[in-house]
Structure 1
């Protein structure tokens, strides 16, 4: 019998777990005809929570031992590690990735399943139709990020797309063949290809609790995504280095000609120092770009695991 695996990363989500479970079960119950002859399971990933998330997961698992499973990390490894762990442990024929805060509406699951069963698509993703309730500066930088990465990367990412999606087993197996340590799931989902369609929904507030993503965490995540899926920053560093090397040659030629024609020494030491400081700053900027890529190589070369499981059931 076909099975749907629901991958649900959790970090300090003790208040939302039961609400999430009841909401999803309600969808399965109300659409029993759609989910006829299809079983489902939950794969909760506790990403080293410091609250009572694991306690709540154990309660859920005790109450529903056949459908609820959990993995608990030894510490916080990040959402990408949680997604990877869920994909590796899910054994369903269809695999869904969802957030536990119900900002990913479970009401879309029946339509997602029906679309996949028609055989025309391998993945049904979701995207928000608006960003209501989000700070204006966060929305601005989000739009800027999608604009930049889609211009400099061969992998195109749909603006406002969520991680929330339902995939076939074949697509998930393809994703699992990518062993990289530095992961940006939205890029990976698109890199592996396969036919994907998107459903839109209106932005909704969290069911409980607060978001654990700060502005700076999102900014750093965006930079990592650009580095993971584009070599353009390296090319920019190369271009800037070449440009300033050319300008320095032009400057040297100018100084030599000026000395031969007028014979006076070159003045303007303050300007010279300013130019040197400016060029030094450009060099450090370029070294920072290169260093970011070298750091990624360094982490990949260690071959450390993405996560460590402390307990599971």
Structure 2
């Protein structure tokens, strides 16, 4: 019986990459024995010709190519979630359209799933060639930090590019939260996963929409979504500050009883006030970040809005 493999492809300003991606996957199609391919291109609010390229592919291959176009840019996480919801295959893979996720790995990934008891085959970059050194440094620091403070393991260098069974995909879809961090969700749902290493690939066309600031915000979201450690830090700082203040007050009282009230400078007082006030604002900021996440969840807004689908 022929099985179906759904390929989920989030796209944002990728008009040049879309036809190249489709061609590259079609070239390895013959290596996927008795597997029918289903493409789901997700247009994440692109204002270039990305949608037109998807429409052209869909007209040329209406049986296998499908697309969803959002009403605006909702982010890659929303596009990925949408693609997983639309996919109907026995197996589902998530791939970047810029071909940094090599399609040539699909046959090996599929063979592993079909001949073993693994539920997922993921990919992991063994190097970061072509990436700015500062970005690579902070990426490594992020993985070290989150794996120390979170109960959910996130593999260093792991990509969203992975091949999953229908059972695992259904488990992921059961987590319908608005604030999504897929790398954490993939790990949190469990299931037996095997990682394949590969060397970093350059983009086939176009420019990445990810910059240092957007990656930094994404990493903060990952930490907040999968760890309560920042709240523990705030509580610990507050406790230490309270104990320190109590000891300082005790010292002042004892000094007053034995030595009277010596003249004290206003500068030191102002510095202490600013220091304590800074700690309070820092802790409030951490708490506020979590409250903000709760606020967006309880509003129960849709993760994305579809403008066009075919």
Q: Give the structure-2-normalised TM-score.
A: 0.99
Question: Does the Cα contact within 8 Å between 1:255 and 1:266 map onto a contact in 2?
Answer: no
Superposition pairs for residues 139-288 of structure 1, below 5 Å?
139-288=136-285
Greater shift, 266-275 or 14-23, is seen at 266-275
Name the CA distance, whole Å, in 1 between partners of 2:290 and 2:136: 27
3-state SS of the aligned residue for 2:304? Answer: coil
Query: In the alignment, what sits opposite 2:102?
Result: 105
Match of 1:3 in 2: 4
CA distance in 2, matches of 1:193, 1:178: 13
Long gaps (5+) in structure 2: none
Deviations 1:67-122 (A, max 9, x none): 10000000000000000000101010000000000000000000000000013200
Residues 1:61 and 2:58 aligned together = yes
The alignment covers a number of residue pairs equal to: 309
Quick one: distance in 2 between partners of 1:200 and 1:284?
43
SS of the residue aligned with 1:81? helix
Greater Cα offset, 35-44 or 146-155: 35-44
Q: Distance in 1 between the 2:33 and 2:254 partners?
A: 86
Match for residue 132 of structure 1?
A: 129
Q: Does 1:310 align with 2:307?
A: yes
TM-score between both structures, scaled by the size of structure 1: 0.98
The structural deviation recorded for 1:275 is: 1.1
Q: Distance in 2 between matches of 1:159 and 1:301?
A: 32
Tell me the CA shift for residue 268 of structure 1: 2.5
Match of 1:47 in 2: 44
Q: Aligned equivalents of 2:143 and 2:261: distance in 1?
A: 54
Contact 1:57 1:70 in 2 (8 A): yes
Q: Does 1:17 align with 2:18?
A: yes
Cα displacement (A) at 1:265: 3.4
1:21 and 1:37 map into 2 onto residues whose CA distance is: 19
Report deviation, 1:266: 4.7
Structure 2: distance between partners of 1:192 and 1:143: 23
* Secondary structure, counterpart of 2:28 in structure 1: helix
**Secondary structure, counterpart of 1:41 in structure 2:** strand
Equivalent-residue separation in structure 2 for 1:225 and 1:269 (angstroms): 43
Q: C-alpha distance in 1, partners of 2:80/2:205?
A: 21
Q: Distance in 2 between matches of 1:266 and 1:246?
A: 25
Q: CA RMSD in A?
A: 0.7
Aligned-partner SS, 1:50 = coil
Cα deviation for residue 36 of structure 1 reads: 2.5
Distance 1:209 1:237, change over 3 A: same
